Amino acid sequence: MVAKKSNQIAPNSGLTGLGKDYVKALIEEYLEVHKTEIDAKVQNVEIQNNKTSSSCACNCKTNMDDLKSEIAILKSRYKDDDKFTLTRAKLIQFMETNRLE
């Protein structure tokens, strides 16, 4: 879902100029009252992100590198392996062994 700007949906809202001003004032009042609470939550999220990125450097990074290399090996084997491709000769051989026409 794409966030829309207020000026994109304002014509369809049916609000008068005074109604729009009321909604803006209401939002500004809410933000003034809850500004410290919002700032604290944002700061907690930033602290959690810093902790996660610093703690992951020890063991998770090597595990992720191992998994990435294994996936790369499997991808190359899948691309190079001929047994997963269906050719005309394989189809004819399958039909002959199963007595299909």
Q: Which domain holds residue 83?
A: 16-97
Whether 1 maps to a domain, the answer reads no
Whether 8 maps to a domain, the answer reads no
Whether 4 maps to a domain, the answer reads no
Total number of domains constituting the chain: 1
Whether 20 maps to a domain, the answer reads yes
- Helix, strand, coil shares of the chain, percent, nearest 5, are 80, 0, 20
Whether 5 maps to a domain, the answer reads no
pLDDT 10s digits, 24-39: 888 888 888 888 888 8
pLDDT 10s digits, 41-55: 888 887 777 666 555
Whether 100 has a pLDDT exceeding 60, the answer reads yes
Structure tokens at 6: 């207020």
Q: Who's near 84: CB < 8 A, 6+ residues apart?
A: 78
Whether 10 maps to a domain, the answer reads no
Q: Who's near 10: CB < 8 A, 6+ residues apart?
A: 20
Whether 61 maps to a domain, the answer reads yes
Whether 90 maps to a domain, the answer reads yes
